[in-house]
Amino acid sequence: MQTWASVDVPRLAGGGPPLRLHDTSSGRVRPTAPGSTALMYVCGITPYDATHLGHAATYLAFDLVNRVWRDLGHDVHYVQNVTDIDDPLLERAARDQDDWVVLGMRETALFREDMEALRVVPPRHYIGAVEAMGEITELVSKLLAAGAAYRVDDPEFPDVYFDSSVTGRFGYESNYDEPTMLRLAAERGGDPDRPGKRHPSDPLLWRMAREGEPSWDGSAGSGAGAGDLGPGRPGWHVECAAIALNRLGPQIDVNGGGSDLIYPHHECGAAHAEAFTGVHPFARHYTHSGMIGLDGEKMSKSRGNLVFVSKLRAEGVDPNAVRLALLAGHYRTDRPWTDALLADAQARLARWRDAVALGAGPDAADLVSRLRTHLADDLDTPAALAAVDGWAGEALERRGRDGRAPGLVRDAVDALLGVALRG
Ligand code: ZN
């Protein structure tokens, strides 16, 4: 799939400490240790509605991971998918008497525009599930051939499920107990009560074709060991597993997404990958961003309390202010979106722009070092923003006579925080 336009990221002199990130599987903040090329997979949208601020907060958090790694000199191989075939997309299209393909294309196009406006560095590979169907069916049929998957005992619809017991580690990523797993699976598109499954937590890999639903040829996978699944469509988790494995290999540095993907999505995706490759762990870090709320509730499609990035843009809000508003809180905390948060971010953006427009300011080398240190500390953006506030306040009081400082601060804020201070 076509990705969005690239963003210029200024190169800064020097470097900072290694990036430490929270990892859900160990429950700790640990150093990332990528090779010369850092490997990151972040789960993309299901394009049945426009990008809301909860999505934006997630992609901004992983954009900072990308930027900090680049600043440390790593090449970053970043992959993101689009879940362009799934139940929610079909249900929304049916509700609105829309074509699901057209709906998905329309919302994906809007998402790209939003990401570009927010200055998110695009992934190297932006892959839709539909375009990856051959590799998905190949992975499912190989899991089936290896005994890691089975057909449910249902003569009408012998759907293929993953046997969650095969890796012997199911649950290591989320650390949830079984009742929690089953409750979340039921809430998030799973079917723990389906008769005939070996374990209630086993996720769907291939759903046999149903009347009135789109389906694909299950023999599309051509690799050795791939068999014919019969016409159908894939489960959600195996899409990401196939797309990630085929581009990033058996082990990646960061698997990211919102905290609502901890289970079942990332647990199951990791189990699929590990059952296929034998390499554990699939991701060295499973990193999750918090939820954005509105009026005391999580922002979600089901509650209908969404604030869309595109709507704010249409109202003339500077996307850099949206970016600053979302970075004002720590990425892992659930936090509310309020009018005051946006107003504060707009005032902060104006102050920073005034400060870097001055002919001189206080020496900025210390600020750059503090920005790097704060971001390396599990993306501590509140501290990073406060450090820039401190420099801007001194500059606006006409303290400091370093003529190069305003330009350096502008470049550092752009490179590390992704905020453009050119007016
Ligand atoms: Zn995913």
pLDDT digits (tens, 9 = 90+) for 227-262: 789 999 999 999 999 999 999 999 999 999 999 999
Distance from the CA of 261 to the center of ligand 1, in angstroms?
8
Average pLDDT over residues 382-394: 98
In angstroms, rounded to a whole number, what is the distance separating the alpha carbons of residues 235 and 164? 14
All residues at 6 or more sequence positions from 144 whose CB lies less than 8 Å from its CB, including other chains: 150, 151, 160, 205, 227, 229
Distance from the CA of 44 to the center of ligand 1, in angstroms?
7
Which pLDDT score, from 0 to 100, does residue 42 have? 98
What confidence tens digit (pLDDT) does each residue in 306-319 have?
Answer: 899 999 999 999 99
Cross-strand pairs, 234: 206
Integer-rounded Cα Rg, in Å, for the chain is 23
- Residue 97: phi and psi, rounded to 5, are 50, 45
The count of C-alpha atoms lying within 13 angstroms of the C-alpha of 301, restricted to the half-sphere facing its C-beta, is 13
Distance from the CA of 269 to the center of ligand 1, in angstroms?
7
Average pLDDT over residues 93-98: 94
Distance from the CA of 403 to the center of ligand 1, in angstroms?
47
Distance from the CA of 327 to the center of ligand 1, in angstroms?
23
In angstroms, rounded to a whole number, what is the distance separating the alpha carbons of residues 4 and 82? 13
CB 272 within 8 A of CB 241: yes
Distance from the CA of 391 to the center of ligand 1, in angstroms?
39
Residue at token pair 């972040």 = 42
Among 135, 124, 159, 148, which residue's Cα sits nearest to residue 4? 124
In angstroms, rounded to a whole number, what is the distance separating the alpha carbons of residues 378 and 32? 10
All residues at 6 or more sequence positions from 358 whose CB lies less than 8 Å from its CB, including other chains: 395, 396, 398, 406
Distance from the CA of 39 to the center of ligand 1, in angstroms?
15
In angstroms, rounded to a whole number, what is the distance separating the alpha carbons of residues 270 and 284? 11
Distance from the CA of 25 to the center of ligand 1, in angstroms?
16
Which pLDDT score, from 0 to 100, does residue 222 have? 54
Which pLDDT score, from 0 to 100, does residue 49 have? 86
Distance from the CA of 173 to the center of ligand 1, in angstroms?
14
Q: Rounded to 10 degrees, what is the CA torsion of 21, 387, 323, 236?
A: 0
* pTM for the full predicted model: 0.96
Distance from the CA of 178 to the center of ligand 1, in angstroms?
21
Q: Is the dihedral of CA 224, 227, 228, 232 positive or negative?
A: negative
- Residue 23: phi and psi, rounded to 5, are -120, 120
For residue 216 the two structure tokens come to 């694909």
- Lowest pLDDT segment from 35-44, 89-98, 164-173: 89-98
Distance from the CA of 244 to the center of ligand 1, in angstroms?
9
For residue 405 the two structure tokens come to 């400082």
Distance from the CA of 236 to the center of ligand 1, in angstroms?
7
The count of C-alpha atoms lying within 13 angstroms of the C-alpha of 330, restricted to the half-sphere facing its C-beta, is 13
